[in-house]
Chains A and B, each alone.
Chain A
Amino acid sequence: MEEIVLRPVLDPAVISHGRQQLLHTLPKERLAWMLQKMCEIRYFEEKAEELYTRGLVHGTMHLSIGQEASSVGSIAVLRPDDLIIHHHRGHGHTIAKGADLKLMMAEFLGKECGYCRGRGGSMHIADIAGGNLGATGVVGSGIPTAVGIALALQMRRSTQVLLAFFGDGAVNLGEFHEALNMAAIWKLPVVFICENNQYGMSGPARTMCAVQPLSVRAVAYNMPGQTVDGNDVLEVYQVVQAAVERARGGEGPSFVETYTYRWRGHSKSDRNVYRTQAEIEEWKQRCPIARFKQVLVEAGALTATEIEAIDAQAKANIERATEEALACPEPSPENLEAEVYAP
């Protein structure tokens, strides 16, 4: 009987070498774009937090500050017509997938011109036309839905692929097992990306999951699995790229665990009682944006001045989007029933 082992998506030996290679093979504009998106995510979330403090954002929000490399590194691999489905901590994916920042901020503010016309809010942003098939607020719920999306792609003989994001909290749901098994038996064009930010609300992944690392779960579904440094945008890029190629080539799904950390609480009501300030500080030292900037300068891909300009541009983009979003009209509560069903 064959020994069952975890097959990596990409040979770990090539990752370190590949990182340097990427800095030279990827066009400069692409690298600049990646940095800009990471900065926009960071500034967007900081701005959203500020607006929340000022009472302008209703409800709650789940910030992904510290996890920018995971979303940008994955989505940077995609063709514009490829698709994503993601989760409640999904601002990063949305921005990386090319969302209009104004429409996104308008949704946070509950405005009629927001992506979901103020019906969804921060937790449910979708940009269907842009290939972002939406964030679900119920942990793990997007994973079975992802199977269906990928099934449609396969049945239509499409060359598009789907990235399905979820967190470490989702891997213990029955839906996760059902969906990964189904995607594997049908060899669907999907990459499952588990963003392990180490806590499912307060529950540590290291104690809540029976097996570590989480990518080992891939063995059970006979698909390649790999854990990557989720704070290294170029490492995420390399592994996801290999998984996307595999999916596009009809070889079926892969499982990528991006190991990262959220700096902020689970949501706005989190008092951070389950972890130490020292731990948070330690991870802040591994800031994915600072790391990327450093790597870019060291490799001579971008100059410090260029990086500063990109950073300033990102900040300005967020300021402008916020200003414009604040000016949008409020939705009307009339006739909402008519929107529930499609004609």
Chain B
Amino acid sequence: MSEATVREITYLEAVREALIQEMRRDPNVFLLGEDIGVYGGAFGVTRGMLEEFGPERVRDTPISEAAIAGAATGAALMGMRPVMEIMFMDFITIAMNQLVNQAAKIRFMFGGKASIPMVIRAPAGSGTGAAAQHCQSLEAWFVHVPGIKVVAPAVPYDAKGLLVTAIRDNNPVLFMEHKLLYRTKGPVPEELYSIPLGQAAVRREGHDVTILAYSVMVPRALEAADQLSQEGIEAEVVDLRTLKPLDQATIVASVSKTGRVLIVHEAPRTGGLGGELTAVVAESEAFDYLDAPIRRLAGRDIPIPYNRTLERAAVPQVEDIVAAARELAREGR
């Protein structure tokens, strides 16, 4: 594949393209969610799809998140491959019982005699000024539930490839789409392809400090790494891509190499994925290579505020990553 021939499209278009191509390929795949039909979804992801696939497969639902999740779960139990959209990840709380107590449990609870192949698409994250009830990043809750997988792509190429894999996966997969990434562009092949779950990507190699990031924090970490490079600090940026299953091998290898790790996520620090990542490093063979304490740079333990300045201050920005990585890279050197 030559770089020159790959066209660039947005993350949003990449998500849509994965949906369209999978729906053309497999008649069991269908969409359901609020305002996804003629409206095209709150963020326009499914725009134009009603025309091609009709109202049965691009199914507008009442504002009933529990029933949406239940309908997806039941249909998946029957062998369909529903892709449900939760308009804002915050609203997933209403669907929690269906997802956690039904979708995630059915396979194990019934002795492995059923499976639930479904995808929950959830636009997440702050930066849009939508404040406390429309900006959350709730991935840690789902990572904690056996039976659900969690995917958080950072670039358009992954958004398409990972969504295709999520749709084909025989389990409930929470697919986090960051609202600020929707308009970012990147090379995405037109043909249908898939990316295996559970494989992190080393976005940038470096030997001074490892930055573990996912979703919108990946481009921020990369920008920070470029700045740090000018100061002589070479950061290695690992894009986790899938939060569950987690690619522990790549994390451990990178931290063993650099001896320092900065974990960056938007979700609040306390009880966030960063704690789990910290434990993964500390319990691994990378421990013996650590030459500084493991550091977390996460969202503050506050609801996302409305005011632009306050909102920005609530979650890690490029300059925060630069400062934290710089301090960590220099410590004891």
Taking CB atoms, residues of chain A closer than 8 Å to B116 are 342
Cross-chain contact A149 with B74 (CB below 8 angstroms): yes
CB distance from B248 to the nearest CB of A (A): 14
Taking CB atoms, residues of chain B closer than 8 Å to A119 are 108-112
Taking CB atoms, residues of chain B closer than 8 Å to A340 are 107-108, 146-147
Taking CB atoms, residues of chain A closer than 8 Å to B78 are 148-149, 152-153, 156
Residue of A nearest to B74 (CB): A148
Given A148-B78, A152-B78, A341-B149, verify A128-B70 contact (CB < 8 Å).
Answer: no
Q: Does A57 have its Cβ within 8 Å of any Cβ on chain B?
A: no
Q: Does B71 have its Cβ within 8 Å of any Cβ on chain A?
A: yes
Cross-chain contact A144 with B66 (CB below 8 angstroms): yes
Docked complex: A44-81 residues within 8 A CB-CB of B: none
Q: Does B101 have its Cβ within 8 Å of any Cβ on chain A?
A: yes
Q: Does A222 have its Cβ within 8 Å of any Cβ on chain B?
A: no
Q: Does B285 have its Cβ within 8 Å of any Cβ on chain A?
A: no
A151 and B109 CA atoms in complex are apart in Å by: 23
Q: B-facing mask of A125-147, CB < 8 A → 1, else 0?
A: 01011000110111001111111
Taking CB atoms, residues of chain A closer than 8 Å to B73 are 144-145, 148
Cross-chain contact B101 with A136 (CB below 8 angstroms): yes
Q: Does B170 have its Cβ within 8 Å of any Cβ on chain A?
A: yes
Cross-chain contact B107 with A339 (CB below 8 angstroms): yes
A249 and B102 CA atoms in complex are apart in Å by: 29
Taking CB atoms, residues of chain A closer than 8 Å to B79 are 152
Cross-chain contact A145 with B77 (CB below 8 angstroms): yes
Docked complex: B39-71 residues within 8 A CB-CB of A: 56, 61-62, 64-67, 69-71
Cross-chain contact B66 with A174 (CB below 8 angstroms): yes
Taking CB atoms, residues of chain B closer than 8 Å to A145 are 70, 73-74, 77, 98, 102
Given A146-B74, A148-B71, A341-B149, verify A181-B64 contact (CB < 8 Å).
Answer: yes
Q: Does B115 have its Cβ within 8 Å of any Cβ on chain A?
A: yes
Q: Does A150 have its Cβ within 8 Å of any Cβ on chain B?
A: yes
Query: Interface stretch among A4-12, A110-118, A228-236?
Result: A110-118
In-complex Cβ contact of A148 among B56, B75, B117, B171 (8 A): B75
A147 and B32 CA atoms in complex are apart in Å by: 13
Taking CB atoms, residues of chain B closer than 8 Å to A301 are none
In-complex Cβ contact of A151 among B65, B75, B111 (8 A): B75
Q: A-facing mask of B137-173, CB < 8 A → 1, else 0?
A: 0000000001101000000000000000000001100
A175 and B97 CA atoms in complex are apart in Å by: 9
In-complex Cβ contact of A117 among B30, B76, B111, B147 (8 A): B111
Q: A-facing mask of B86-127, CB < 8 A → 1, else 0?
A: 000000001001100110001111111111110000000000
Q: B-facing mask of A314-343, CB < 8 A → 1, else 0?
A: 000000000000000000000001011111
Cross-chain contact A152 with B75 (CB below 8 angstroms): yes
Cross-chain contact A148 with B77 (CB below 8 angstroms): yes
Cross-chain contact A155 with B110 (CB below 8 angstroms): no
A147 and B113 CA atoms in complex are apart in Å by: 21
Given A145-B73, A148-B74, A182-B64, verify A134-B107 contact (CB < 8 Å).
Answer: no
CB distance from B104 to the nearest CB of A (A): 9
Cross-chain contact A151 with B113 (CB below 8 angstroms): no
A150 and B147 CA atoms in complex are apart in Å by: 23
A185 and B75 CA atoms in complex are apart in Å by: 17
Docked complex: A152-198 residues within 8 A CB-CB of B: 152-153, 155-156, 174-175, 178-179, 181-182, 185
Residue of B nearest to A127 (CB): B113
Q: Does B292 have its Cβ within 8 Å of any Cβ on chain A?
A: no
A182 and B97 CA atoms in complex are apart in Å by: 17
Q: Does A246 have its Cβ within 8 Å of any Cβ on chain B?
A: no
A341 and B80 CA atoms in complex are apart in Å by: 17
Given A141-B102, A148-B82, A182-B67, verify A341-B107 contact (CB < 8 Å).
Answer: yes
Q: Does A124 have its Cβ within 8 Å of any Cβ on chain B?
A: yes
In-complex Cβ contact of A155 among B30, B111, B147, B171 (8 A): B30
Cross-chain contact A182 with B109 (CB below 8 angstroms): no
Cross-chain contact A134 with B110 (CB below 8 angstroms): yes
CB distance from A135 to the nearest CB of B (A): 9
CB distance from B33 to the nearest CB of A (A): 12
Cross-chain contact B114 with A147 (CB below 8 angstroms): no
Q: Does A120 have its Cβ within 8 Å of any Cβ on chain B?
A: yes
CB distance from A188 to the nearest CB of B (A): 9
* Chain A residues within CB distance 8 Å of chain B: 85, 114-120, 124, 126, 128-129, 133-134, 136-138, 141-153, 155-156, 174-175, 178-179, 181-182, 185, 337, 339-343
* Contacts beyond the supplied A144-B66, A151-B80, A340-B108: 16 A-B pairs with Cβ under 8 Å: A115-B111, A119-B111, A119-B112, A124-B109, A145-B73, A145-B74, A148-B77, A149-B75, A149-B78, A151-B71, A152-B80, A153-B78, A155-B75, A175-B97, A339-B107, A342-B107
- A–B pairs, 13, beta carbons within 8 Å: A134-B106, A134-B110, A144-B67, A144-B98, A145-B74, A145-B102, A148-B73, A148-B76, A151-B75, A152-B75, A174-B94, A175-B98, A181-B64
* Chain B residues within CB distance 8 Å of chain A: 30, 56, 61-62, 64-67, 69-80, 82, 94, 97-98, 101-102, 106-117, 146-147, 149, 170-171
